[in-house]
Structure formats: structure tokens, C-alpha cells
Chains A and B, each alone.
Chain A
Amino acid sequence: MASPEDLTGEHGSLYAARKGVYPKKVDGPFRRFKWAIMAVTLAIYYGTPWIRWDRGPHAPDQAVLVDLANRRFYMFQIEIWPHEFYYVAGLLIMAGIGLFLVTSAVGRAWCGYACPQTVWTDLFQHVDRLIDGDRNAQIRLANGPWTAEKIAKRTLKYAIYLTVAFWTGGAWIMYFADAPTLTQDFWSGQAAPVAYVTVAVLTATTFVLGGFLREQVCIYMCPWPRIQTAMMDEKSLLVTYKDWRGEPRGSVKKAEKNPGAFGDCVDCNQCVAVCPTGIDIREGPQIGCITCALCIDACDSVMAQVGRPRGLIDYCTLDDAATEKAGGVAPPIRKTLFRPRTLIYFGLWGAIGLAMLFALGQRTRLDLAVQHERSPLYVQLSDGAIRNNYTLKLRNMELRPRDVEVTLSGLPGARLWTEDGARETAGQSLRLPLAPDSVTSAKLFVVAPGAGPARQDFTIAVRALDDDPRGDRETIQFDRPGTEP
């Protein structure tokens, strides 16, 4: 039992200063994999807005574009309208299930490799190494006095941080407007204020989160580790220190003197030195571990040096850990990856993906919406006929102008016209020119004989007058006197 006085010392402080993390350079298969992922993700992020895509004269030629002003989302050949937002919802669901899949199979792989916070932290840590040197030099410089050299190095380093951060913010806005034009406008001061504000905010957050807060984001700010922990089970792969093999630890010298008394860990602390979140994996699985596997690379190279088998720290499931501890042999990793849970997730994920692809292939680019005007529900005309008014909305989602025909059926003796026409020239159908990539809305008048049921369903259909005959139809009501409540 500690006395209250004990709590006022270093353990009693309510707020702890961040301990600097100076990860050491390391090489190995996982590090190289991380390099590859970093290169790919950064290239996608910075490069995507610059891919051009010719959509013809009526649409922007940027491959990926979120056109907020015109409410369109372009992704290569696909164009999404606001009312088709379910595709985006579908993508989000796929992303969610994808995370379940990945997490249940390989644990926090997202955290370790693909999370933007990880990628940019990694990038900034390379900048640190470039300017300040590797771990020891960094520690020396951090603890040393403010010499001219230190000031120069810090200035240079923060300048690079800021440049990276600025590029990061700058790339973001390119997704929302034509990239080359926006770049020009941005530098000539003619871009929209929101562009400058966005860049400023993203520059600031990248600078602070990637440059300084780093692992603090993963440990304190991000809710994701907590959620991921809940999604893992005893069959998920984790970076694990195999204590049954490593303990008790002792240096090579000690082990030589006392053969058989020590485990495989030579207590070299390399695994701690390379860890980007500054934790000691030998203390067991913990929330600070982002499963980047750099400690595996570090330990494997130590094991190679001292001539012991690799894998003292390795990807391992809790089940396998228990098996190995009990002296058994863990099944191959492939078995952990393909098990009912992951297969179900994968099946679900794939099914949604296929369904969306199918829907995308089937969707018509000519869409009709008819709304019955309710005030008045019907109009008594002087010759005794009854007119109903509708609002007609025609979406031409193709990037070319189209002529369409709107036809009425199922209402005997009825004729239709729009505000541009007149009852005298009305017929069973009418033709309308639609502008490319636009919604045309028109007042539709339908007149029918006064004799008939008070309420009658009929159909309004639209069809394009070009080579693509697919269109849309809607069944709607015609009201006559007697339908008032």
C-alpha cells in the first residue's frame, strides 16, 4: 500500500509531458512493405486529381472530381448524381466490412500501414532522420543546448514539415475543382476563400498531428484502436513477443557464461528503439501498438546476427501463442487467414461489390419523376373536361443533349402538354429536348374527359429518341371532382 504522499511525486502528476520518440532506422521485409504502401498511398493521394479523363464537351475532364457546386461526383467513367448517393453509401459499407475483414484477419493492419496518421508520421520521421540523423543523434540534439547548429537544423526541419503539410492541404482541394485551373487561381489569389481556408486548416493539422503529436493521436485521440480491439478475436494476427521463447532475457555474454539459463531475447532493446510509438512490445499486447511490425524486422536481424532462428517477435494469434506456449506447433498462417469469420466477411464484401457493379451497369441515364400538384387537385375546364397539373422532372444524366418523348397511357381520351404548348395542339405524347447532364423541369398539364372514376391511375413514360431506348416510367393518379376530402 502506497501512502498518499507517494502519489504527489512523479506518479501523482495529473498531466504528463510527451516523451520524445526517436525511432531508429531499420530494414527488413516489413519495413520495405511499409515503404511500398507509403509510396502507393501518397502517390494516389497527391497524384489522383491530376489524372485527366475526356468526357466530351459537356463535363469536366478530371478523372476524379467532387463537383460540389454542380453536385456531381465523377470517378473515371462513372458519374454519380446526388440522388444516386446510395453508391457512395455502398462504398462506405464496403469500407466498413473491409475493415472488419482486415482486422479480423490481420489485426490492426490499417493502423500499421495505411492510416494517414501513420503514413504522414512515418514521412515526418524520415525527415527527422534526414536532418537530425538517426536515433542517437536525434536524442543528443533534443537534449543538447540551443546551439546555432540546432537552431539551423530545427528551422530547416520545420520548414520541410511545413512544405509537406502545405502540399498535403493543397492536394486535398484539388479533388474539388479542376486541378490545373485551381492551381493557377490559387497562386494568383483568385481561388475561392474556402480553398485558402481549407489549405490553411489542413496545413496546420498536418503540421501539428504529423510533426508533433504523432503517436499521441493513436493512443489518446483516435477512437479506432478501441473499436478495433473489439473486432479482433483470439484468431486475429497480432505482433507478439514470444515470451515463452525469449524469457528470461540476457545478453549474449551472460548466455555464454550460463548456457541454458536464458531465453532467446538478448535484451538489446532494438525492438523498443525502432518502435514508432515508443512502446516495449515485450510487455505484451497493448493499445499503443499499431502493428507496424518494424520490431519484427529489428529483432529478426538481431536474431540473424546472434545465430538464432527468426520470429522471436512475430505475427501470431492468441490461440497460436497458447499452443506454442504449451509446446505445440502452431498451424500455418494461411489457416488463420481463411476461417469462417473472414470468409463470411469476404463473401459479404464481395456480394455488395458485385451488386453495386451490377446496378452501375444497369442504371439508366434518363430518369423521370412526376409529382401531382395538389393545389388544386384538379381544374374544371369550361367544356366540362378535367385538367390535372403535374410537375415533371427529367434527368438527362448523359453527357450529351438528347431528345426524349414523354408518353401518357392508361387514361382514355387524355392529352398532355407543357407550359410551352397549348391544349389545342396537345396529344398523347410530346417531345422535349434535354440539355446534357441536367435536370429539366416542366409543368405538365393532362386533360381528360370529365366522366370517369374520381381517382384513376395512369402511366407517364419517358424514352430517348436515340440509340439507347432505355427510359423510365411512373404510375401516377388522375383526380376528378369528388376526390376532395
Chain B
Amino acid sequence: MADHKRIDDVTGTATSGHEWDGIEELDTPMPRWWLWSLYATIVWGIVYVILYPAWPMIHGATEGVLGWSSRGQLEQEMQADAQRRAPVMNAIAATAIADLPAKPELMQAAVQGGAAAFRVHCVQCHGAGGAGVKKLYPSLTDDDWLWGGDLSTIEYTITHGIRNPDHKETRTSQMPAFGHDGILEPAQIADVVSHVRVISHQEKPSASSARGAVLFEANCAVCHGPAGNGGREVGAPKLTDAIWLYGGDRASITATVTQPRNGVMPRWNSRLDPVTIKMLAAYVYSLGGGEKAPTPAMAAATAEGPGTEGRGADGQP
């Protein structure tokens, strides 16, 4: 190649020796500041290696004299963030949960914080957005509450859980296993089921339901109320509406009466601080079913039939 190089007459610059179709490439020298820039980047690189973690070693990496690490920075940022949020968190802690809605900014912060905590602790059972899981875990977004849907009641439920074997203050109640324990004969259960389906407007009254009404009065009304409107002090579901946690068709109701599930929810005061629980309650409350004031008992209320608009033949979706 070297002997192809020559000095170009017009420019006085050496050619590089590359030639293509009669066009030759000039070997124009680089500007010197370019060289200095290169040196500068090398110096920068060396300084950087000294100051910051750089060389990977078998266990970890060189530390750098500044002692900086991405993990340390994250820690710092988390701390700074906690500090930034501290005033709001303290304000939430100092406010009784029932007073939160009166302070829209606090309420909003609580709902947001609760949404984050919900995604970590609650979605496993209650589903994203609190949609629940059919026949397993209740939806938290509807207007039907087993134990009550106002802020304080929700907070209590989250704090102490439901049917927690190791906790005194837990919400507790037990529906007898009428079929399994032989309290009722299968035929009697069928009659009770007919009655329940009549009061929930899924069936027309029949001889069977008339017999069931008597059995209901004797066995079920204590908790579910004489009209089947449910009782919140024991978490007894309302049987006259369109919402069925474990299904409202004959087979499902029969299964429930035979061997009830008595679902369990963990108590969260052992794992979450009161502020987080308060925020969770605010979030659940905000999902659409929040009730303004506690309405502890419904069982005594007069039977009020559900609206009939849009009910399917068996009241089930």
C-alpha cells in the first residue's frame, strides 16, 4: 500500500492509498485538539475508575474512593422519600379514620398509599382492583358487605381478620354444617334451599319452599334474620339480594348448607403498621361500595325485596 501513497498536487495533502474508480482518498490529518480530547477522555476514565466502583472482582467490585454505590444511593433516596412523605403519614396516623373523608387531601393520599399496599398484600385473594374471586373470596367493590362497609368497620376487619384461630379480637361466627353434621335431612335441606331461592326471587313459591320457610325460621333466622336480610354482627350474608359469594344456584346453596366454608382472612395487625392498615381501609372504601356510616344490624330490618331489573333466571351472572 505504502507505495501507492503520494502527495496530492491540488491540496498538498498526502493520500491514504485508497483509490476507487479513480477517486483517491486524502489522508487529511486530524486536528490536534481531537488528540487532546482523546487524552482528556482517558484521564477522565482513570479518574472515574479511582473514584467510583469499576473493576469487577470475584466477590463484588472495587469500591472507589468516594464510597458510592447504587445500592447506597437507593437507600438514600428511599430515606429521603420516607422523609418527604412523613408529614402526610403522620397526619394520617393522627386522624381518626372516620374523619379522613372530611380532609380530601389526606383521604386521597391514603387511598393512593392503600392502593400500593393492596397490590402487595391483598391481591392474592381479593384480586386486582378488589374484584374478588368467584366462590372463594368476596368482591370488595360491590355494595354488599358481610361485616359492614364503612371506614371504621373495614379497618377493624383488616386489623383483626376473620375467624383467626390465634386472635381473640378477630371477627368470628360459624354457620353450622347442617347436612354434614346431620342437623337437617337432605330433603329438609332441599326445602330450605327452595325457600332461600324464593326470597331471593329466583324461584316461585312452592310446597317445598313453604316447608323450607318453617325450617328457616327455626334454624337460620337467628343469624340471617327472619326475612333473610343477613346480620352483620355475625357476618351472616344477606340472602335476598343478587350477590352470592359461593353461588346462588340450587347446587351451590345446597353445598353451602350442607358444609359451609366459614372463610378465613388473616389479621394484618401482626404484619402491617396501623397507618398502612388505615390506608388500606381507605382504599377498599373507595372502590365503590364504601358506606358512609356503620349499619351494624340488618337482620331485624323488614324484608325488602331486591330490585328485579335485569335478574337472570337464577340470579347469577
Contacts and interface: CB of A to CB of B under 8 A. Distances in A.
Interface residues of B, number: 43
B30 interface: yes
Contacts of A2: 5-7, 14
B34 interface: yes
A4 B34 contact: no
B306 A376 contact: no
Nearest to B12: A11
A419 B285 CA distance: 10
Nearest to A445: B288
A7 B30 CA distance: 15
Identify whether the interface residues of A are mostly helix, strand, loop, or mixed.
loop
B30 A16 contact: yes
A382 interface: yes
Interface string B1-28: 0110111000011100000000000000
Contact of A380 (B7, B30, B317): B317
A137 interface: no
A254 B141 CA distance: 101
A359 interface: no
A445 B141 CA distance: 11
Given A384-B315, A449-B309, A376 B131 contact: yes
B288 A18 contact: no
Contacts of B33: 18, 213, 216
Nearest to B123: A375
Contact of B127 (A1, A12, A375, A380): A375
B7 A384 contact: no
B243 A381 contact: yes
A422 interface: yes
A383 B31 contact: no
A43 interface: no
Contacts of A14: 29-30
Given A2-B6, A16-B30, A220-B31, A382 B241 contact: yes
Nearest to A386: B310
A449 B317 CA distance: 13
A8 to B, nearest CB: 10
A1 B129 CA distance: 81
B311 interface: yes
Interface in B129-150: 129-132, 139, 141-144
Contacts of B32: 15-18
Most chain B CB atoms below 10 A, which of A7, A373, A381, A385: A381
Interface in B271-317: 286, 288-289, 292, 306-312, 315, 317
Contacts of A80: none
A220 B34 contact: yes
Given A2-B5, A11-B13, A17-B32, A379 B288 contact: yes
A384 B311 contact: yes
A194 to B, nearest CB: 17
B310 A422 contact: no
A383 B310 CA distance: 9
A259 interface: no
B142 A422 contact: no
A173 B205 CA distance: 80
A419 B142 contact: no
B31 A384 contact: no
25 contacts: A2-B6, A4-B3, A6-B7, A6-B14, A11-B13, A13-B29, A15-B32, A18-B31, A216-B33, A220-B34, A375-B129, A376-B132, A379-B139, A381-B142, A381-B144, A382-B143, A382-B238, A383-B241, A384-B307, A384-B310, A385-B307, A386-B310, A445-B288, A450-B310, A482-B317
Closest 9 CB pairs of A and B: A450-B310, A481-B317, A376-B131, A375-B129, A382-B241, A451-B310, A383-B307, A16-B29, A375-B128
Interface of B: 2-3, 5-7, 12-14, 29-35, 127-132, 139, 141-144, 238, 241-243, 286, 288-289, 292, 306-312, 315, 317
